Amino acid sequence: MRPANIITAIADVLAGVAISGYFLNETFDSVTLESILPVICLCLAAAGLYGGGVVFNDVFDAKLDAVERPERPIPSGTISIAQAIVLGAYLLLVGILGAFSVGHLTGAPGWLAIAITIAALVYNKWGKHHPIWGPVNMGLCRGFNLLLGISIIPAALTQYWWMGIIPVIYIAAITNISRGEVHGGNTRSLKISALGYAVVYVAMIILAIHQERLWRALPFILLFMFMINSPLMKAMKEPSGPNIGKAVKGGILALIAMNAAWVAAFAQMPFAMAVLLLLPVSLGLGKLFSIT
């Protein structure tokens, strides 16, 4: 289920909620159970959708993992394929129902959850094997996840739908890097991903300026840049499998810093700090469970 990664998916939703303006005039003192319950439901939805997606990733990769990663749960015999399918289906169902429970006449959160489910399954079965569509397909899962948070206010989707493109670019860059995780990569491919990274953090800076909150968001943006570029530079110098793996892990965990930056740009600073506090949680889980 990749618990450390699930935390980053929850951070995506929290960033989307902030972008929607849901907490624009809220403080920690003014938050009520009634106002926070839809946010909790969307976080639960994100956890189920991400967890279910990666479980099915292991299901579809079971034969390949038996050769390349025999320590994984299915090839090691810890869990059977049938059990994994039941678990994955249950998690995806929880994700979809959690999204539909956020009561809008449009049903936008629920339909986005279905879109995430389809995108994840298509990637697991077919997308990952395509050199160009694969990274974009994986990026769509995260892009829809950000929009899932924004959909807490359906009208905000009309205004901010295009922001879903930013995580698509970012995750496509990470997915491109991850192709060399087992056998090593090449510098040219890593440079392409570095360009994608640059597009993302330049876009973040421009949007923070547009929101007139650059100085609030800048510390989070700088942390994000450090977390993704430090391991990437090492991988460029020596594109070995272990270095590629560290670059991928750094990119995934850095999503929390990215999302904290979005919250700082669109909501109050305490909410951004709360999202950033998810980082040590994710790091701790990353030591106990596999991230990639």
- State the pLDDT at residue 127: 87
Please classify residue 73 by burial: count the beta carbons closer than 10 Å to its beta carbon, then call 0-12 exposed, 13-18 middle and 19+ buried.
middle
The pLDDT assigned to 183 comes to 61
Residue with tokens 């109050």: 268
For the chain, what are the domain ranges? 3-286
Tokens of 70: 């025999």
Q: Which residue has the higher pLDDT, 105 or 174?
A: 174
- What average pLDDT does the segment 14-29 reach? 86
Q: Which of 56, 154, 139 is nearest to 99 (CA)?
A: 154
Kindly state which CATH superfamily the domain 3-286 is placed in: UbiA prenyltransferase (1.10.357.140)
Confidence of residue 232 (pLDDT cuts 50, 70, 90): very high
The pLDDT value recorded for residue 132 is 83
Query: Is the pLDDT reported for residue 179 higher than 90?
Result: no
What is residue 180's predicted lDDT score, i.e. its pLDDT?
63
Highest mean pLDDT among 19-28, 238-247, 263-272: 263-272
CA distance 215 to 222: 11
Arithmetic mean of pLDDT over the chain: 92
**pLDDT exceeds 80 at position 97:** yes
How large is the C-alpha radius of gyration of the chain?
A: 18
* pLDDT tens per residue, range 151-173: 999 999 999 999 999 999 999 99
pLDDT of residue 178: 84
Contacts of 194 (CB under 8 A, 6+ apart): 173, 229, 232, 236
